[in-house]
Chain A
Amino acid sequence: MSLFDLVAGLLLILTAVAVVTLRNAVHAALALAGNFLVLAAVYMALDARFLGWIQVIVYAGAIMVLFLFVIMLLLAARADTGVDPVPSLRPFAGVVGVLLLVGLGYAVTTFEPVQSLVETAPLLAGGTAQVVGEALYGPWLYAVELIAVLLLAATVAAVVMVQPEVRRPRVKPQVAERERELEEVTR
């Protein structure tokens, strides 16, 4: 375990805990952006360089900015402090979380890799855009096309969700009265 692993791991855990515990939503969002940046560095250290940069550009650069916009637009920086509808769930959730951590940790440490890392690591070739592109537009082409459809569907869905109600032309009571009178006259 190198110094980088240690520092990055600690930073990841610290920022993640901060995201969950900080009461101020802006602080939590910034902690999450920090988490993404560290995660990007970890990706690069694991030979997934292109993915690391994408992580910075899309997650930290686009998604988190959108989150911050929403938080600020809704003035939701301060969460509903003091309102916990089911406080009895908190220790239960903690216990389940710890159990999950222990179980997964045990599973990860005891398992034997199906493919030898020494053989497969050179295939990554540093995880540059070239290798990723060859995979995306080769064996995974169908998935890429499907994701395009997914993004279009999500765009349509988001537009529909926020679309203001269609206003129907409202007839004023005086106009309606006048129309009724006219009808009577013609009859």
Chain B
Amino acid sequence: MSVLITLLLTALLATFAGFVMPSSEVRRVSGIGFALALVFLGVNWGEDQVLFNGLYVFDAFARGITLVVLLAALMAVLVGTRYLAATQAERFEYYALLGYAVLGAHVIGATTNLVVMLIGIEILSIPLYVLAGFRRDLESYEASVKYFLLGAAASGILFYGIVLHYGATGAFTVGAAGEGLLYFAAMALILTGLGFKVALVPFQWWTPDVYQGSPTPVTLFMASGVKAAAFAALARVLVGSGLEGPWGALFALMVALTVLFGNLAALVQNEAKRVLAYSSIAHAGYAALALLGPDAGPALGYYLFAYAISTGLAFGVLSVVDEGKGVPYGALRGLLQRAPLLGVGWVFAMLSLAGIPPFVGFWAKYLVILEAARGGAYGLVVFALLTSVVAAFYYLRLLALAAFSAPASMEVPAARSGARFALVVAAGLVVLLGLWAGLGFGLFANAAALAP
């Protein structure tokens, strides 16, 4: 409850503070608000809360998702400044819209009611449509329009699915018992709508264009925070309804296609943001592996957490390097020599995303694969392992560019102190949680019960 109220007040303050103070002060307001929510989250860590007639369920899984979203939002605030100034897009509304998006993500994570989930998805999505078009150029507008049109269509499908779910089960709660063709149709439509939000194949087409066109700090938040929130909804629905019969097979097929398509398409890109977009599709597939296991909560939560700090670190570095025109491979050449901090961050992020020990990404991948194996999906496990070897190729190529190529010029992108702090913390977490895996996993260990 205190987290919810803090996030609401943060968004409201950021909305109205901009009328009387410069945008740098609004940045401070929203940063402090998110940090305060993080503190309240820590204080209330062990307590489950069910409020508002069961519409607000603050359990272990909700806390984990909120933690991931808050970390992503803090990264987006801290590294966003320089990018926004460089692209003449620095307006205080950035922080206000980010505040609403974080609130929406928290609402999605902390409910088992489909209607509230839907409202949360809209509170999250509508500010993001605008944030995607925050830079005033055609590429950014294109990202915004594409995201909005496809997102609205996906929301419509989700609406219809929820209505049919009510028809088939008589309840809006996830996991309500239902059977028959109408229930199947409802679940298919819900899976389509949520599959779009997490970018599972074949609903992933918007991801590369939107990730590439959006301002880089916004992409950071989309890849880490939004993905976590969308997965929270998907996990609650799928774990609640169970994955028996045709469901399991259909979902396993989607997961297989997702890891295959994401990794193969990432091989042939030549722009860093676009590669990471395809890589995020593949990572959605890996995270979804956990849902095939008998006890999805901890593994999925930990994967989202690990992926959020790794990809947050990668996009954080790109936010500093990017001048608003994307990051072609040449811009990363010799980053380690030109700017050691950025270079080290980039190398760590790539190693972690590739799943190489002893970085946090390795343990995350290990846990989801273990979970899928416990669920008996051995063929899929082998397939996912093979595709993750393919993935190592493009991650190591990006790493090699930064670490071993000779730089074209010695121009050093200057990170501001806030961004430097965020990058150091993220890089530290990637290593620390990799070396001491139990520390991070302890946060999610009791997130077992997802459905009411």
Q: Judge whether B414 is part of the interface by a CB distance below 8 angstroms.
A: no
A111-B181, A157-B129, A166-B91 given as contacts; is B53 within 8 A of A149 (CB)?
no
**A161 neighbours in B (Cβ, 8 Å):** 130, 133, 144
Cα(A163)–Cα(B256), bound, Å? 43
Query: Which chain A residues (24-54) contact chain B, with CB distance < 8 Å?
Result: none
- How many residues of B are in contact with the other chain, CB < 8 A? 41
Q: Judge whether B74 is part of the interface by a CB distance below 8 angstroms.
A: no
**B93 neighbours in A (Cβ, 8 Å):** 156, 159-160, 163
**A165 neighbours in B (Cβ, 8 Å):** 136
- Closest Cβ–Cβ distance, residue A141 to chain B (whole Å): 6
Cβ–Cβ contact A114 & B169, under 8 A: yes
Q: Judge whether B271 is part of the interface by a CB distance below 8 angstroms.
A: no
Task: Give the residue among A104, A106, A107, A165 with the most B Cβ atoms within 10 A.
Answer: A107
Cβ–Cβ contact A156 & B15, under 8 A: yes
Task: Give the residue among A115, A138, A152, A157 with the most B Cβ atoms within 10 A.
Answer: A157
The stretch that binds A, out of B119-127, B232-240, B309-317, B328-336, is B119-127
Q: Which partner residue on chain A sits nearest B144 by CB separation?
A: A161
A156-B96, A156-B97 given as contacts; is B116 within 8 A of A142 (CB)?
yes
Cβ–Cβ contact B56 & A142, under 8 A: yes
* Cβ contact of B8, chosen from A114, A149, A160, cutoff 8 A: A149
- Closest Cβ–Cβ distance, residue A100 to chain B (whole Å): 9
**B122 neighbours in A (Cβ, 8 Å):** 150
Q: Which partner residue on chain B sits nearest A111 by CB separation?
A: B182
The B interface, classified by DSSP as helix, strand, loop or mixed, is: helix
**A146 neighbours in B (Cβ, 8 Å):** 107, 116, 119-120, 123
Q: Which partner residue on chain A sits nearest B128 by CB separation?
A: A157
Q: Judge whether A154 is part of the interface by a CB distance below 8 angstroms.
A: yes
Q: Judge whether A57 is part of the interface by a CB distance below 8 angstroms.
A: no
Q: Judge whether A139 is part of the interface by a CB distance below 8 angstroms.
A: yes
* Cβ contact of A143, chosen from B8, B116, B130, cutoff 8 A: B116
Cα(A106)–Cα(B134), bound, Å? 45
Q: Which partner residue on chain A sits nearest B94 by CB separation?
A: A160
A115-B170, A149-B8, A156-B15 given as contacts; is B91 within 8 A of A107 (CB)?
no
**A108 neighbours in B (Cβ, 8 Å):** 182
Q: Judge whether A22 is part of the interface by a CB distance below 8 angstroms.
A: no
Q: Judge whether B184 is part of the interface by a CB distance below 8 angstroms.
A: yes
Q: Which partner residue on chain B sits nearest A142 by CB separation?
A: B52
Cβ–Cβ contact B123 & A149, under 8 A: yes
**A143 neighbours in B (Cβ, 8 Å):** 55, 115-116, 119
Q: Judge whether A153 is part of the interface by a CB distance below 8 angstroms.
A: yes
Cα(A152)–Cα(B14), bound, Å? 13
- Closest Cβ–Cβ distance, residue B338 to chain A (whole Å): 30
Query: Which chain A residues (123-169) contact chain B, with CB distance < 8 Å?
Result: 138-143, 146-147, 149-150, 152-154, 156-161, 163, 165-166
User: Could you show 22 A-B contacts with beta carbons less than 8 Å apart?
Assistant: A104-B185, A107-B182, A110-B180, A110-B182, A111-B181, A111-B182, A112-B180, A139-B53, A142-B52, A142-B53, A142-B56, A143-B115, A147-B119, A149-B103, A153-B11, A153-B100, A153-B123, A153-B127, A156-B15, A157-B129, A159-B93, A160-B93
Q: Which residues of A contact B (CB under 8 A)?
A: 103-104, 106-108, 110-112, 114-115, 138-143, 146-147, 149-150, 152-154, 156-161, 163, 165-166
The 10 closest A-B pairs by CB, nearest first: A142-B52, A153-B100, A107-B181, A114-B170, A111-B182, A142-B55, A157-B130, A107-B182, A160-B93, A146-B119
